[in-house]
Amino acid sequence: MNPFVFHSPTKVTFGEGASWTAAEVAKDFGATKTFIVTDAILMKTGILKPIIESFEENSYCLFTDVPSDSDVDTVDKAAAIAREFGANCVLAIGGGSVIDTAKVVNICLSLGGPLLDYQGLNNLSDRLGPLICIPTTAGTGSEVSMVAMVKNHKEGKKLLFGSRFLAPDAAILDPTLLLSLPPKLTAATGLDAITHGIESFSAVISSSPFTDAMCMEALKMLFENLPRATANGADMEARSATLIASAMAGVAFTNSGVGIVHALAHATGATFGTHHGLANSILLPHCMNFNMDSIANRYALISRYLNFSSSTNDNDAAAALIKAVSDISAQVGLPTRLRDCGIPVLDKRQLDELAFLASTDPAIMFNPKESSAQDIIGIYERAY
């Protein structure tokens, strides 16, 4: 068995309306001044009102300027406001971009100094101030993960931060916040969570029985409930299950890593701005086919657990899982080809650049099979 370290430091609270207790949770961490990070679209919907109203006047400061593609300028701006306010707690309410921004703001707020000093893996030497996350999508797992990524638009670079000290102290999972999430976003973020489950389980050098258990149960909940949550956004049970499963898959992947699907999705997203979950959903079956000869036995375990196959032949059972992945993407109405996402035909130089980006993405370290630039281009072309 692999040697492993498993961290799960985030206190997870689930319940309909659980987010209204955010102020109490903050108080439990000794917070007297909470910096709330969210985005303008969420603010407009009004669903944040009960959360914000749970805080006493003057005990919070609201920052709503996080764009969908957050970057270091946003972080710097938010951190300056948080410092000025004297914040001793950060609360993130939103999707992956908001939560990642809040994590990096928390680094600035807690440790000070230039942000670039903290870029890297295991590069935080000290605990940060309390961070509470309330996800409003079910997919990124960022509310429980130990990583954050923000872009530097000016330099065309992305900054990766990874440390056990980045894990939020608390995640509040409130399915009522997801009821108005549009079907396309529900589907794409849900496929992101499915990708986390499959890639984390496939990371044979770094997975553990802890992460395996999280992946299996998360995948079961996602395959059963994502079509329901997409078809009927008001289906509270389906929303709850996908939200919980997303966090479970998040705990898994933050401990064992992801793989080539994420590496290629990051490269595609960086080059064309393709939605991360959507890119994952399109690339996932093609990458699984690529990995098949290394890991059919692991795919087969998932397939049998989810009742996609009862075959004792690993290749047959694994093929059934890959088909189920393709089927669920189609069922929830996501495009199945990259060319259907506005990505133009690439020439050889562009393909080489994309392959280079993917091959140097940290996610690829955990893939069960090594891949050459030609392999990566092959996957991309098959997905196109």
Span near another protein by CB under 8 A; candidates 12-20, 155-163, 189-197, 274-282: 155-163
9-17, 119-127, 300-308, 313-321 -> range binding another protein (CB under 8 A) = 119-127
| Residue number with CB closer to another protein (92 or 357) | 357
Cβ atoms of 169 and 10 closer than 8 Å:
yes
Tokens matching residue 53: 């109203």
Phi and psi at 252, nearest 5°, equal: -65, -55
111 binding another protein? (CB under 8 A): no
Of the candidates 163, 57, 160, which has an alpha carbon nearest to the alpha carbon of residue 116?
Answer: 160
Nearer to another protein, 199 or 314 (CB): 199
Q: By C-alpha distance, which of 209, 187, 246 is closest to 2? A: 209
156 part of the interface to another protein, by CB under 8 A: no
Token match 């951190």: residue?
79
DSSP string over 22-69: HHHHHHHTT-SSEEEE-BHHHHHHTTTHHHHHTSPTTSEEEE-B--TT
Give dist(CA 187, CA 138) in Å, integer. 9
Burial 141-153 (b: 16+ CB within 10 A, else e): bbbbbbbbbbbbe
CB of 123 to another protein, least distance (A): 5
Kindly indicate which of the ranges 43-51, 242-250, 342-350, 356-364 contains the residues binding another protein, using the contact rule CB under 8 A.
Answer: 356-364
Q: By the 8 A CB rule, do 177 and 41 touch?
A: no
114 part of the interface to another protein, by CB under 8 A: no
Interface mask (CB under 8 A) for another protein, residues 202-231, using x and -? ---xx-------------------------
Among 43, 81, 111, 160, which residue sits at the site for another protein (rule: CB under 8 A)?
A: 160
CB of 281 to another protein, least distance (A): 23
Q: Which of 257, 277, 285, 368 binds another protein (CB under 8 A)?
A: 257
C-beta of 375: minimal distance to another protein in Å? 13
376 CB neighbour count, 10 Å cutoff: 25
Q: How far is the CB of 119 from another protein (least distance, A)?
A: 6
Both tokens assigned to 375: 């392999």
Minimum CB separation of residue 99 from another protein in Å reads 20
Q: Does 164 bind another protein (CB under 8 A)?
A: yes
- Distance, C-alpha 21 to centroid of its chain: 24
Site for another protein in 316-345 (CB under 8 A): none
| CA 306 – CA 300 distance, rounded (Å) | 10
Exactly one of 87, 159, 248, 318 binds another protein (CB under 8 A); which one?
Answer: 159
Can you give the binding site for another protein, defined by CB under 8 A?
2-5, 117, 119-123, 157, 159-160, 162, 164, 205-206, 255-257, 356-357, 359-362, 364-366
